[in-house]
Amino acid sequence: MTETDISAPPSGFDVIRGYLRTLDSSPGVYRMLDAQNRVLYVGKARNLKARVSNYSRPTGHSPRIDRMIRATASMMFLTTRTETEALLLEQNLIKQLKPRYNVLLRDDKSFPNILVAKDHGFPQIKKHRGAKKEKGAYYGPFASAGAVNRTLNQLQKVFLLRNCTDSTFEARTRPCLLYQIKRCSAPCVDHISTADYATLVGDAERFLLGKSTNVQEQLAGQMQAASDAMEFERAAALRDRIRALTQVQGSQGINPRGVPEADVIALHIDGGQACVQVFFIRAHQNWGNRDYYPRLGGTESPSEVLQAFVGQFYDNKEPPRQLILSHDIEDPDLMAEALSDKAGRKVEILVPQRGEKAELVAGATRNARESLARRMAETATQGKLLKGLAEAFELAAPPTRIEVYDNSHIQGTNAVGAMIVAGPDGLMKSQYRKFNIKGDDLTPGDDFGMMKEVMTRRFRRLIKEDPDRTGGTWPDLLLIDGGAGQVSAVREIMAEHGVGDIPMVGVAKGVDRDAGKEEFHRTGQRVTALRHNDPVLYFIQRLRDEAHRFAIGTHRAKRAKAIGATPLDDVPGVGATRKRALLAHFGSAKAVARADLGDLRAVDGISERIAETIYDYFHEKG
């Protein structure tokens, strides 16, 4: 019997050392992958060979980096022309691949702006989020929709600008309530001239640029002139606007005089967790703040965390002229150069030690510290609840991703399914999903059939996008709103797709349907209940109520859209104004569809060509 020599697989250090022969001193980006080709880490280097050689040495690494190196089975490299390009590529890849050992910004939503639309004689002022495709002037970003709404409310009080849609504007025949409560100048019914309204728009834009003192001085001058001319009603109206502006200036909070445009970014780390607070300063005004909780490996330095945060945060956002930071970052000059190239103008990165900027950083740091303390307390409570949930339903471990499903409809119409997600950090609202029920063969009100459709679509997508269940998108526990019937229907679908190993619980009201007497249904097990005052029961109730709230809200939005829809919406050349004229003339869309050419031509605003288009549309369909 001969002895077979089975050589051990090479260690991560050996794997990395093997690449050194093929590398040169070019700048670029490297990726470290494990034995399953999952990306462990993405990094950038001024000199790839020098940077990678650091990983080939078996000593001198933090525990986190040592674990990463030992798990490395292969590497990938991409050279760039400059280190700046490498930095930008690194941040893009981190956001796309979400490597386990990188600091990762988990919440990266876009921020709302205020838009002064310029495609109408009487510009509308409104909240805007997303791509800046509409014609007009954009002001922002604001930290939240609430901050935008507060500012819009202030602007309405002071500058009396309209916020109604163009179609509503065109349809009005008398002033709306906003005019009555002195929030609008009623341009829709010619209560103000185009020139005077343009003056209001200009004043509002100067206010948004931080020139509110100039606006106030001008208003005071106009009030005095009106008073001298004995136009006392106009003088009183101007006086009311000055008072409103004064109130706005007094309620804006921290408004730094020496900082016209900056983001103040402060970091606090405690217990292996981090909070980053971002305050938005624009036009010398505080436009709100938002906190972030980047994912850490546990041993990163503040400079490493802030470097990663800044790079990822501004990957899809325009940076301001200054970034005021609480800590130095690893490559401040390189980051400033990259952000300047992105913005097309100079971007400064500052870490102030004294003065007004240092006070701003101190305030942001205090907020970061307090926010992290609250989150850690909430996380500890959430951890206990998840552990209690695992014990109640005999799960192998506390779940890290709970998906809760519910349906909403009225007698089967406008049916929607809703999914909410919860985990160790609480509700994960960015993971919520809605499903428009499409099944044409469903009986109206067939809740079983609706739930089957939702679950089929959900698991088909999961199997397609993450068949190995490594992306963190697979649930550890499903909570279904319903009893034995719903559980059986869902279990059937899961068995068909080979995912019957995922625990599932149906949450049903008791016999008298009182909250607190919920019954829990699981396949092959008897119906159970929890103690009336059990915190886990309250937790499940909150999850179910949140799913119900989300489902109801989605259903109402769909129903409202359907109520306003008519067959005229699809007729080429018929917009909001012509649609209103046709409905006013004929009384209903059905009557429009039956009308002959002569009747259609008789409607104001309907030309012979449009009348023929409408007639052909309905008669060709018939």
Query: Whole-structure pTM over 0.85, yes or no?
Result: no
Across the chain, mean pLDDT equals: 84
The CATH number assigned to the domain holding 414 equals 3.30.420.340
For β-strands 402-410 and 426-427, DSSP reports them as unpaired
> Does any domain span residue 393?
no
408 and 545 fall within a common domain: yes
CB 281 within 8 A of CB 287: yes
Distance, in Å, from the CA atom of 597 to the CA atom of 591, rounded to the nearest integer, reads: 13
User: Which residues constitute the domain of residue 498?
Assistant: 402-555
Q: How confident is the model at residue 93 (pLDDT cuts 50, 70, 90)?
A: very high
- Cβ atoms within 10 Å, residue 533: 8
173 and 194 fall within a common domain: yes
Across the range 529-537, mean pLDDT stands at 88
Cα→Cα distances 487→448, 475, 530, Å: 9, 16, 19
What is the tens place of the pLDDT at every residue in 25-78? 999 999 999 988 889 999 999 999 999 999 998 888 888 899 999 999 999 999
Phi, psi of 283 (to 5 degrees): 55, 40
The predicted pLDDT at position 251 comes to: 45
Distance, in Å, from the CA atom of 114 to the CA atom of 39, rounded to the nearest integer, reads: 39
Across the range 205-212, mean pLDDT stands at 76
What is the tens place of the pLDDT at every residue in 451-505? 888 888 999 999 988 888 877 889 999 999 888 888 888 888 889 889 989 999 9
221 and 270 fall within a common domain: no
Phi, psi of 284 (to 5 degrees): 65, 15
> Does any domain span residue 426?
yes
Cα torsion 250, 252, 258, 262 to 10°: value is -170
Q: How confident is the model at residue 255 (pLDDT cuts 50, 70, 90)?
A: low
The predicted pLDDT at position 582 comes to: 84
549 and 418 fall within a common domain: yes
Exposure of 342 in the CB half-sphere (CA atoms within 13 A): 23
> Does any domain span residue 562?
no
What's the total number of domains in the chain? 5
What does the longest C-alpha to C-alpha distance in the chain come to? 118
Cα→Cα distances 104→93, 287, 309, 312, 356, Å: 11, 25, 7, 8, 31
> Does any domain span residue 380?
no
- Cβ atoms within 10 Å, residue 524: 5
519 and 499 fall within a common domain: yes
What is the tens place of the pLDDT at every residue in 390-414? 999 999 999 999 999 988 765 556 6
Q: Which residues of 187-214 are buried (b: 16+ CB within 10 A; e: fewer)?
A: bbeeebeeeebeebbebbbbbbbbbbee
